[in-house]
C-alpha cells in the first residue's frame, strides 16, 4: 500500500509542476503578448483529452484485465513526450504535444487508480485515503524542487520531472506483489429488487458531492493570490506559496489519522460529511472576514478539510462502486469531477466577483459545499 501511494504521488509529480509552472513559463517565453490566449487553448484541449483518455484507458484496463502493463506503457510514453516537449514551438504543435502527453499520462493514471480497488480491501480504504494525501504535497514539493534557481535549465527541468515520476512509479510495478482479494473482483449483478439501484444512487451522490467541492477548491486555487493581495497587498508570491505548501503538509498526518479512525469504526462516509461541513463554514468565514488573520484562518481550515475530503473520497469511491468489472471505466467518469470544474469555475467567477466581490463568491461556494455535506449525510442515513 505504501508503494502504491508512492506511485500515486508520482502521478501528481507528473502534472502539477508542469501544468502550474513549467508550461506557463515556456508559453510566456514563446509568446509574451499572447500567453493568456495560448494557455486557454492549451488547457481546454489538454483537459478534454485527459477526460476522454482517462475513461477510455480505464475501460481498456477492465477489458484486458491487466493494469500493470498499461501503467508501464503510459509511464514510458508520457515521459518521452514530456522530454520532447521543447521541440514544439508553435501553438498547434504545443497543443498536439499536450494532447499526446495527456493521453499517455492517463494511460498510466486510469489503471493505476483502478488497481487500488482491485488490491486493497475495504477495511483499509481509510488508511489508503490517508496515504493518498501525500500526492498533492509531493506535487507541490516537486514543483519547488525543479524551479530552484540555477538547479536546471528549462529543458533539464522537464527531464527532472520525468525522472522523478519514473522513480516513484516503478517500485510498485517491480516490487508490488499485492495479495489477491477475490471478493473485490466479484461482479455485482442487479437483482431487480426494491434496493436494486441503491448502490447507483450512492455513487451519484458521491460524484455530485466531489464535483461541488472541486468547484470550490478550483476557484480558490485559481484566485488565491489575487484574493490574498486584495486583503494584504504586501504579500509576495513566495509568501503565498509557502502558506499553500505548509497547509498541504499539515493535511497529510490529519488525513492519515482520520482515515485510520474511519477504518477502525467502519464509518467510511462520516469523515467526508464532516469535512464538507467544515469546508462550508470555512468558506463562509472567508467571505465575511474583515482582517487578514481571520481570512488566513478560514483558508487554512478550508484547505485542510478539502484536502482530507478529496483524499478520503478517492479511496472510499473504490468501496461504493457497484461493479468491479467496470471499475476502471467508472473511475474515469469520476475523474470528470477533476476536469469539469476548470470549465465551470471561470464563468462562475466572472458572474460573481465583478458584482459581489470575493465575499459573494465565497458565500456561494459555501452553499455548494453545504449541498455536498447534505448529500453525504443522506448516504449515512440510508445506510
| Residue of 277, 242, 240, 271 whose CA lies nearest to 258 | 271
Reported as a single tens digit per residue, the pLDDT across 298-340 is: 989 998 999 899 989 988 888 877 677 788 888 888 888 988 8
Q: Given pLDDT bands bounded at 50, 70 and 90, which one contains residue 56?
A: very high
> Predicted confidence band at 191 (pLDDT cuts at 50, 70, 90)?
very low
Q: Are 109 and 11 in contact (CB under 8 A)?
A: yes
* 369-380 pLDDT tens trace: 999 999 999 988
User: How does the average pLDDT of the chain come out, rounded?
Assistant: 84
3-state SS, residue 236? coil
- CB-based burial of residue 315 (10 Å sphere; 0-12 exposed, 13-18 middle, 19+ buried)? buried
Overall fold of domain 2-176: Growth Hormone; Chain: A; (1.20.1250)
Q: What angle do CA 362, 381, 281 make, to 5 degrees?
A: 20
Res. 189: pLDDT tops 80: no
Residue 194: per-residue pLDDT:
41
- Given a cut of 80, whether residue 47 has pLDDT beyond it is yes
SS3 labels along 339-377? HHHHHHHHHHHHHHHHHHHHHHHHHHHHHHHHHHHHHHH
Say if CB 3 and CB 175 are below 8 A apart.
yes
Q: 148 or 204, which is more confident?
A: 204
Q: Scanning the structure block, which residue is given the C-alpha cell 509576495?
A: 236
Q: What local confidence, expressed as pLDDT, does residue 196 receive?
A: 41
Q: Which whole number is the average pLDDT over 352-360?
A: 83
- Stronger pLDDT, 132 or 170, i.e. the higher one: 170
Coil, helix or strand for 29? Answer: helix
User: Hey, do 2-176 and 198-382 end up sharing a CATH topology, with the first three levels equal?
Assistant: yes
pLDDT, one tens digit per residue, over 278-297 is: 999 999 999 888 888 888 89
pLDDT tens by residue, 200-230: 788 899 999 999 999 998 887 766 666 777 7
Residue in 141, 120, 138 with CA at minimum distance from that of residue 129 = 120
Pick the range with the lowest mean pLDDT from 83-87, 180-184, 368-372.
Answer: 180-184
Residue 136 has what pLDDT? 80
> Taking residues 7-23, what's their average pLDDT?
86
Element holding 322 (H helix, E strand): none
Comparing 30-39, 49-58, 221-230, 245-254, which segment has the lowest mean pLDDT?
221-230
Under the phi-then-psi rule, with left for phi > 0, alpha for psi from -120 to 50, and beta for the rest, what region is 65?
left
Question: How far apart are the C-alpha atoms of 280 and 212, rounded to whole Å?
Answer: 11
**pLDDT band, residue 185 (cuts 50/70/90):** low
Percent of the chain with pLDDT over 90: 34
d(CA 119, CA 181): 6
CA atoms within a 13 Å half-sphere pointing along the CA-CB vector of 313: 31
The string of DSSP codes covering 239-272 is HHHHHHHHHHHHHHHHHHHHHHHHHHHT-SSHHH
Domain locations in the chain as residue ranges: 2-176, 198-382
Is the predicted pLDDT of residue 190 greater than 60, yes or no? Answer: no
Considering the domain 198-382, what is its CATH architecture?
Up-down Bundle (1.20)
Amino acid at each position: 500500500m505504501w508503494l502504491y501511494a508512492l506511485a500515486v504521488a508520482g502521478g501528481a509529480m507528473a502534472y502539477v509542476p508542469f501544468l502550474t509552472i513549467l508550461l506557463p513559463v515556456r508559453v510566456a517565453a514563446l509568446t509574451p503578448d499572447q500567453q493568456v490566449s495560448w494557455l486557454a487553448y492549451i488547457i481546454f484541449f489538454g483537459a478534454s483529452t485527459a477526460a476522454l483518455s482517462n475513461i477510455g484507458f480505464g475501460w481498456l484496463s477492465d477489458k484486458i484485465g491487466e493494469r500493470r502493463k498499461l501503467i508501464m506503457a503510459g509511464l514510458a510514453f508520457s515521459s518521452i513526450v514530456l522530454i520532447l516537449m521543447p521541440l514544439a514551438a508553435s501553438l498547434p504543435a504545443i497543443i498536439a504535444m499536450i494532447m499526446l502527453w495527456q493521453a499517455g499520462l492517463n494511460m498510466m493514471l486510469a489503471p493505476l487508480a483502478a488497481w487500488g480497488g482491485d488490491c486493497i480491501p475495504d477495511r483499509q480504504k481509510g488508511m489508503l485515503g490517508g496515504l493518498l494525501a501525500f500526492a498533492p504535497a509531493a506535487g507541490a514539493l516537486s514543483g519547488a524542487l525543479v524551479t530552484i534557481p540555477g538547479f536546471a535549465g528549462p529543458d533539464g527541468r522537464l527531464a527532472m520531472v520525468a525522472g522523478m515520476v519514473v522513480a516513484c512509479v516503478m517500485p510498485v510495478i517491480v516490487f508490488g506483489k499485492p495479495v489477491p482479494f477475490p471478493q473485490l473482483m466479484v461482479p455485482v449483478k442487479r437483482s431487480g429488487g426494491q434496493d436494486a439501484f441503491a448502490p447507483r444512487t450512492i455513487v451519484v451522490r458521491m460524484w455530485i458531492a466531489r464535483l461541488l467541492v472541486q468547484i470550490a477548491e478550483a476557484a480558490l486555487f485559481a484566485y488565491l493570490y489575487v484574493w490574498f493581495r486584495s486583503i494584504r497587498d504586501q504579500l509576495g508570491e513566495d509568501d503565498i506559496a509557502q502558506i499553500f505548501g505548509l497547509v498541504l503538509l499539515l493535511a497529510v498526518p490529519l488525513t492519515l489519522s482520520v482515515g485510520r479512525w474511519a477504518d477502525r469504526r467502519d464509518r467510511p462516509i462520516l469523515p467526508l460529511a464532516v469535512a464538507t461541513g467544515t469546508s462550508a463554514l470555512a468558506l463562509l468565514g472567508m467571505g465575511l472576514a474583515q482582517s487578514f488573520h481571520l481570512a488566513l484562518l478560514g483558508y487554512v481550515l478550508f484547505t485542510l478539510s478539502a484536502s482530507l475530503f478529496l483524499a478520503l473520497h478517492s479511496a472510499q469511491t473504490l468501496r461504493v462502486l457497484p461493479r468491479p468489472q467496470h471499475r476502471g471505466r467508472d473511475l474515469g467518469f469520476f475523474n470528470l469531477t477533476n476536469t469539469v470544474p476548470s470549465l465551470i469555475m471561470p464563468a462562475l467567477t466572472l458572474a460573481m466577483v465583478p458584482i459581489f466581490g470575493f465575499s459573494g463568491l465565497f458565500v456561494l461556494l459555501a452553499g455548494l459545499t453545504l449541498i455536498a455535506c447534505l448529500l453525504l449525510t443522506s448516504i449515512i442515513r440510508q445506510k
